[in-house]
Amino acid sequence: MAGSSSSPGLVDTLLQRSLDDLIKALRSHPAGEPSIISRALEEIRREIRSTDPDTKSVALQKLTYLSSLHSIDMSWASFHAVELLPSTSLSLKRLAYLAASLSFHPSSDLLLLTTNQLRKDLSPSSPSPILSLALEFLSVAASPDLARDLTPEIHSLLSSPKPPIRAKAAAAALRVFTRCPDSVRIAFKRLVDNLDPSSDPRVISSAVGVFCELSASDPKPFLPLAPEFYRLLVNSKNNWVLIKVLKLFARLAPLEPRLANRIVDPICEHLRRSNAKSLVLECIHTVAVSLADYDHAVRLAVDKMREFLSCDDDPNLRYLGLHALSMLGPRHSWAVEENKQVIIKSLNDPDPNIRREALHLIMGMLFDSNVVEISMLLVSFASKLTPNPEFCNEILGAVLLACGRNVYELVMDFDWYVTLLGEMARNPHCAKGEEIERQLVDIGLRVKDARSELVRVVRDLLIDPALLGNPSIHRILSASAWVSGEYVEFSRNPLEVLEALLQPRTNLLPTSVRAVYMQAVFKVLTFCFCSYLESLDDGQILSSLGNTISGDGCQEESDAATVRFVTNDNTMVGSVDDDGATDCMPGSLMGSVKLNGPFTHESILYMLNLIETSLAPLSECGEVEVQDRSRGILCLIHMLREFQVLNCNEEALRKDCRVIEIANLMTGVFSQELGPISASAQKRVSVPDGLILKDNLADLTAVLGEEVEVSGSVTTSFFHRNHHHVETGDESKTSTESTSLLSEHRKRHELYYLPAEKDEIQSNDYPPANDPQLPVSQGGASEDLVEFTDQPFLSRQTKPTKPRPVVVKLDDGDVQHNSAPRPTVDLKDDLLSGAVRDVLFGNEDKPKQSQMRSSKSQRRKKDPLTSVESASHLKESVNFVHVEHGSSSSKSSRRHSHSTEKQSSPGGSMDKEERSHKNSMNSHHHHRKNKHRQREDVLSNLVPHTPVIQDFLL
């Protein structure tokens, strides 16, 4: 009711709607929200300009509400928030700070206006609530300038007598340090002081949190604080603090070998004792990241992981258990082996995140020794995942990625892998057509020895009419057609392939794929016809023509053909290769199939008829690619038919040199073998002299204006070529030079015909395809999982039965470089850690010019992390030692004197309790872990630059 009565003419103060009114209005008309909001914004814009602070604050409050919960932009009102900041009333100040901290960014322009007010509010004499507000605001909105200007205030607040304020100041210091690295030099020591055991626990907690955050990008400068952290690790009872300290040690331990030795026992103690799962989890992480060398710690951590994994009622713990296992990595694969059953069961978890984590874990454990088992397990599992196509494809994608990585690095047995690809293609939910397509073609090009198996696999795919109805695998079929055409000489039964390529249901394919099919038909036809002619040349075989031919005869025939080719003229060099390859095939392969081998006169005629009837309708197809190719093939057939001899008898055909010539021409076209192409191949082609590639051709349009316009009609004539037959006939007579041109064209474009995808234009005369039948009932998945678990998961003992075939690799540009560039540290982070280093190592007197430091840090960045780094480290450490010795001088701070005492006089300020604890631990250590001791000694001998930090640790 209040909403309807506000009219612009009345005094705002009296009739202003409160926040409650606004919320009620929004709640009572959920549908009219936008209009209510826009009306409220109108009011707010008016009210916020009021001179009355109460009216203004209510308007600001309403705006804050709309901004934070309805994503309304309130940057325009920043100034009004700043206006209210100085108010003396706490409630107004609170509202102003809330509005400011919700709406200001570090990049906001108006931040400059707040500096003075913040300085006032941050003075140590301000009341706590105001200090809290100001610190919170600073932590959200600190810009570099603001951080620099307010560093003195933070510095003094870090030693405030009120613990909550000190804690908050520490948190705000985190932002101040990251935004303005120079402030580290001023305030960092105060922060370190807050780690003192006498400090309030919440201050310690807050300070540790800050160190933990700061060390995330570069932990190295924090090494000198290790003793303080160690003390907390051993003494603190606060789990929040312990978690942060563990995080810190996880980062520090890899930098300092002896540190790991010290912390391993306290961490194991926490692992054993603690009831808090969060602390246990953090211990597990620390062990996995930094203590992987300590077998007993890893053992303990793995036991805890197993506890997590077995929590059937807590998906959180199961997820974290899997995640922790994958952190252990391939080095401790026994841990994965131990929990194999649970991991595989997790693949069927109702939670997709857990399934993904399990998959990720399994893929992380893939070696060349177990890739076969695991991939087969996963692929057959995926085929049973009927209710969950998304995850099924995730599995397939992971397997494809892992096996295809670095040119099939992991794959030893390509026959197996090719079969696996075929199996994946048959998965009813497979949506990875693109990648399978790529790999099928790629393996064909790269791995010679896999071709025969490849051809067998793709034949099975091509022949299955059901697969044609599944649009998601059309790409795979495209690759299959290409493979079966390109390597037709490996086919047991080319006629069968031809039938498959021409089956009526191929009209379900998109035209781009049909074009590939047709090219494959062309290749198969060429191959069949030529081998037929070759067989005719051999007199022995004439008698058996027309009969069913036995395997022996076929073998003889192919041998004879080879002989003939070897003694043939130069144009047939390529064919010799092809035929040689045929010869390499095992005899059993050829002999086992009835229809195989020498083509009879009848089969050739049948083939020609089949092609003619199937392709005839396509010669009028609207799609140029299909039309073009179908016409090409039809022309060839037409031309062959012109030789009447083909229709009467073989004898005449054999004698007809024109037919032989055509056959030679045809084999010549496809004779050259295709290979993988380097990604940088194009770049390596040198530009011929006189060829200007970067010339501006704009002037040409003026000259050639008319011709360019005509181009439209050119394309239409392209569609209706009437003299096609004659042309091709002429072409066939011009001999070898066109052959080489064609082969070159083919080489250039053939591969790239594959991926183009276009919509199906042709009308579908055939009934729609049935969806592929689901191979297994839906409930079967989980039961089948149980049997998988019996299989060895990480068996390394399996040995490849045959040597790995040669995989063609190119020198450059072929393999994708997987190694990511080394992460470069942000310059700011580097400045920050440089500053922290300077403070902790006592180099405050250094010149403060950022440029100098940045150049220095850049140098450091370039250095390899080994010797040079250690040298600079050594130098700094020497400085530090110097300061340590001269710590009696006036400039040493409280902490310094404290720590010096600690090191110089063992009986000094160090807690007796702690020391005795350490001693007992050491003796304990000595008894049980002699090995580690020795290792430690060896290490300290080996690494000369580490002893400098030793002082802190011992």
215 or 261: CB nearest other proteins: 215
Smallest distance from other proteins to CB 332, Å: 20
Block residue for tokens 């300085």: 119
27 or 926: CB nearest other proteins: 27
DSSP, collapsed to helix, strand or coil, labels residue 760 as: coil
Quick one: tokens of 326?
């994958």
| CA pair distance 188, 833, nearest whole angstrom | 12
Smallest distance from other proteins to CB 89, Å: 5
Smallest distance from other proteins to CB 154, Å: 12
Smallest distance from other proteins to CB 15, Å: 15
220 or 724: CB nearest other proteins: 220
| CA pair distance 297, 274, nearest whole angstrom | 15
Contact 369, 351 (CB under 8 A): no
282 or 489: CB nearest other proteins: 282
387 or 908: CB nearest other proteins: 387
| CA pair distance 562, 581, nearest whole angstrom | 10
102 or 910: CB nearest other proteins: 102
71 or 567: CB nearest other proteins: 71
Smallest distance from other proteins to CB 681, Å: 35
Please name which of 361, 334, 331, 333 lies closest in space to residue 345, comparing C-alpha atoms. Answer: 361
Smallest distance from other proteins to CB 175, Å: 5
R_g of the chain computed on alpha carbons: 39
Residues that bind other proteins (CB under 8 A): 20, 23, 27, 54, 61, 64-65, 67-71, 73, 75, 89-91, 94-95, 98, 101-102, 105-107, 127, 129, 132-133, 135-136, 139-140, 164, 167-168, 171-172, 174-175, 202, 205-206, 209-210, 213, 216, 238, 240, 243, 247, 277-278, 281-282, 285, 315-316, 318-320, 350-354
Smallest distance from other proteins to CB 397, Å: 17
142 or 501: CB nearest other proteins: 142
Alpha carbon 86 to chain centroid distance?
51
Q: At what angle do helices 226-235 and 257-273 cross, to 10 degrees?
A: 20
| CA pair distance 96, 90, nearest whole angstrom | 10
Which amino acid would we find at residue 324?
Answer: A
Smallest distance from other proteins to CB 173, Å: 9
96 or 476: CB nearest other proteins: 96
Spatial neighbors of 519 by CB under 8 A, at least 6 apart, are 481, 482, 485, 629, 750, 753
Question: Burial code of 14-40, b = ≥16 C-beta within 10 A, e = fewer?
Answer: eebbeeebbeebbeeeeeeeeebbebb
Smallest distance from other proteins to CB 228, Å: 18
| CA pair distance 387, 636, nearest whole angstrom | 50
Spatial neighbors of 524 by CB under 8 A, at least 6 apart, are 484, 485, 488, 491, 494, 497, 498, 501
Smallest distance from other proteins to CB 364, Å: 16
| CA pair distance 712, 763, nearest whole angstrom | 26
According to DSSP H, which parts of 8-89 are helical? 12-15, 19-28, 33-47, 53-70, 78-84
| E strand residue ranges, 683-763 | none
62 or 258: CB nearest other proteins: 62
Contact 738, 731 (CB under 8 A): yes
213 or 844: CB nearest other proteins: 213
Contact 518, 630 (CB under 8 A): yes
Smallest distance from other proteins to CB 395, Å: 18
354 or 500: CB nearest other proteins: 354
Smallest distance from other proteins to CB 73, Å: 5
Please state, as a whole number, how many other Cβ atoms lie within 10 Å of the Cβ of residue 383.
22
